[in-house]
Structure 1
């Protein structure tokens, strides 16, 4: 039977299994399918005019605007590609040296990320094809300059902010706002398919923008004092301002997604009273607020500092969150440089340590279903105190890339204690917490965006095994095989 002759009920079921890209292709196949509606559950906004234009088009569409549940704000900016080339003679169509170097580093990174893994991924063939088809560097640089000029016009007239506010009024089903500086992903492999990123020419090798400052090449946490400082997090400031003004009351989730990059909101945001802190508190207080993912940069602070985590302002802010909160995740950039003397994650000094219950008011969240902690300096006994305090509603726990204080425990010892002392094994299988642990794959080179995730092994160890069982040895054997003891 031809596809065009299928009953509508059967065709509708088939469409449910198709991706958005497949539906777009099907709409082009024939006139009969041209009216098949797209499934648009999220809209993208950034300082790029293409994203703004598409965002407004969705907001103006009487059918599509009702299906948007998430706005993703791409905070990456192209910066100034002309920086450092003042007086530079672009003779012979040669781009500035820094730009040429960045494009070469992109190609080295592609090979480097691939060589560190025995398993090759399906998308690598497509990347290889783009490497072969990449445009001349000078043309790439000119295009980057063009994109930068366009976004600078947006920064001047604020059209991205105006469009965002318009969308908040036009998307009645909106539930989540996600901010990310990682939308561009890596060369020829963007993280999100934003309209702007889909419009990039095939083979476009360019200096990947990240937007927010981070500890990529240095360990330095940016201040939160002047307007110039704060403007680096332009999207974040506008989001919490709008939500604090009670725009889009249906929004229940605020997510800062750095996708394992060493960046995020500066932890100095929590150092002193400021308007933005009050606005964030107002967001957390919203009735029915249920999810908050917070990524912070904390590198470069002297040993006597870390006041951002010890002054109580993070806890006071989180304590204002609705009792309906179901999901909390805190991530920092701590530990991105491993201890090369020992090759182990365990590091840190006692005066860096902050008890977790001094940060997380667990007792105020009786409906919590997910707790996540990534790249944080911990002690094993303190992690156990927090796990014991978690409510019975908890279903998933992520403890990834943690740095155990010297003589303060280890992942292996933590799992042993969790298995032997927590009452989780006595609960019904359907309500037992699922624990996920993330580890960097290699000590000598950090591969951003990739990691080793242990879920099935941890579940078997905690609930199905013992010291002598085959399942109970799965995680233990993995630790010994990799030297993580």
Structure 2
């Protein structure tokens, strides 16, 4: 018997399936499932090949080791299509918990860590209680000392990598080794929520699955235990707060200058709706390193996607932000081939103190003064999130979008003046003026809308918004939202939409272009 036949014999029932069917089935599995499958028999260990189309790099040694190993492999490197730079950081200190919060424990574990550990442990138990059947295999361990030990190892490794610049060297080398790379992404959302990472990086996979630890986050303003962050001018000290951005834009821009025919056509800065973004002051100096590097990236021929979240903290007066948005416009004007654009800020409209700091009208800029849509004739997707908008300006802006548009997101928007403009009026205008409902079903732009209820709960009303626009159903939005009174801050009726956790693994499946189908799956699993 030949070795191939012997392997098929050992595969049992799998041996009778056509190899094409096996390959198609295996292609739908995660790498972790493929690893388990490969261990079942010799035949499947040959047929089920791991995929390395997506690679992670960060300031963690384990991620760099795996990244470099694949970059050095002459076969695996050819399959890499997506590179994600994880800019989340493990911090060595936090603001401590509430005054007088006492712990009876070993002093070797710092007070701040014990406080955050207790908080994260409670969140983990809440998740396990809610997601029964999905995370039943996870048994959390209430061992703060063990958690702190792992955390210190992660922190030490991160510190050494940054001091030696190992991530920079690895990234520069990797960019030259991935000829089929098309997408580069910068993210701070990697660690997701407790027990459910947003991405399973090599570093996260190396940790015990049940390990409870403070979520690593990146960029100022993402630590919920610190006071709201006010951005400073973009100089040497401030740029260190966004180190990953500086590193990634510099190395990608260098690579594109040296390789003008590079296949990279997507550059994404992803925060997954966290209240975070790039310091808006970066756009003060168009001769600055990061700005010129971004110009190089957006000028690259064939660039199809760009996602830009901005940190608006500390911008009190419109005269401060107007010239900055002018430079955002100039930057985006370089990318004439864009098909997918998302633009957001980190403004927390649920913050009652916000309304005593900034005025709505003064910070509501015409959208066409920020986003050069006339430069994007092939635009297919546009996402707007956490912006001050005027109803008529947004309506006219959407009416000017090219007919190539396939999907639109309008999430967490604040209308001004609040007593006149609102989501309800906007959608009435859109339905009566755009004529999208008259298009064939497959040509109707898909619509995504997320809003916040009191307490910061996120509600997805996308299906209801589409039903109103295209099927003549009821308008799901309320007349208006009064920002000055929390109890009057409404966007949709209470029986409309579904509450979602944006870091819930089930909700992550809901994305364009298969949004409608995926949402029905999600609703069934919430019941």
Q: TM-score, normalised by structure 2?
A: 0.80
Contact 2:284–2:324 under 8 Å retained in 1: no
In the aligned structure 2, how far is the partner of 1:32 from the partner of 1:483?
51
Contact 1:93–1:138 under 8 Å retained in 2: no
In the aligned structure 2, how far is the partner of 1:10 from the partner of 1:91?
56
Contact 1:309–1:359 under 8 Å retained in 2: no
1:321-470 pair list within 5 angstroms: 321=335, 323-339=336-352, 348-405=359-416, 406-440=418-452, 442-444=453-455, 446=456, 451-465=458-472
1:468 matched residue in structure 2: none
Give the superposition deviation at 1:92.
4.3
In the aligned structure 1, how far is the partner of 2:437 from the partner of 2:78?
43
In the aligned structure 2, how far is the partner of 1:355 from the partner of 1:122?
48
Q: Please give the secondary structure, in 1, of the residue aligned with 2:341.
A: strand
Going from structure 1 to structure 2, the CA distance change for 1:428 and 1:202 (only over 3 Å counts) comes to closer
Give the superposition deviation at 1:164.
0.9
Among candidates 166, 169, 177, match of residue 159 of structure 1: 166
Q: Please give the secondary structure, in 1, of the residue aligned with 2:493.
A: helix
Deviations 1:410-455 (A, max 9, x none): 1111111111111222323222211111112x312x35xxx32222
1:291-302 pair list within 5 angstroms: 291-302=305-316
Give the superposition deviation at 1:83.
10
Going from structure 1 to structure 2, the CA distance change for 1:316 and 1:21 (only over 3 Å counts) comes to same
Task: Confirm or deny that 1:7 pairs with 2:18.
Answer: yes
Going from structure 1 to structure 2, the CA distance change for 1:142 and 1:435 (only over 3 Å counts) comes to same
Structure 2 unaligned residues grouped into runs of 5+: 1-11, 97-103, 480-490, 498-527
Going from structure 1 to structure 2, the CA distance change for 1:300 and 1:34 (only over 3 Å counts) comes to same
Q: Please give the secondary structure, in 2, of the residue aligned with 1:392.
A: coil
In the aligned structure 2, how far is the partner of 1:121 from the partner of 1:388?
45
In the aligned structure 2, how far is the partner of 1:122 from the partner of 1:295?
35
Contact 2:423–2:478 under 8 Å retained in 1: no
Which deviates more, 225-234 or 103-112? 103-112
1:267 matched residue in structure 2: 280
Q: Please give the secondary structure, in 2, of the residue aligned with 1:80.
A: coil
Task: Confirm or deny that 1:257 pairs with 2:270.
Answer: yes
In the aligned structure 2, how far is the partner of 1:255 from the partner of 1:151?
23
1:62-73 pair list within 5 angstroms: 62-73=74-85
Q: How many residue pairs end up in the alignment?
A: 457
1:87 matched residue in structure 2: none
Deviations 1:262-291 (A, max 9, x none): 112111111233121111111100000110
Give the superposition deviation at 1:311.
4.8
In the aligned structure 2, how far is the partner of 1:299 from the partner of 1:368?
30
2:295 matched residue in structure 1: 281
- CA-based RMSD: 2.9
Give the superposition deviation at 1:306.
4.6
1:21-32 pair list within 5 angstroms: 21-32=32-43
Going from structure 1 to structure 2, the CA distance change for 1:16 and 1:203 (only over 3 Å counts) comes to closer
Give the superposition deviation at 1:110.
4.2
2:507 matched residue in structure 1: none
Structure 1 unaligned residues grouped into runs of 5+: 85-89, 466-470
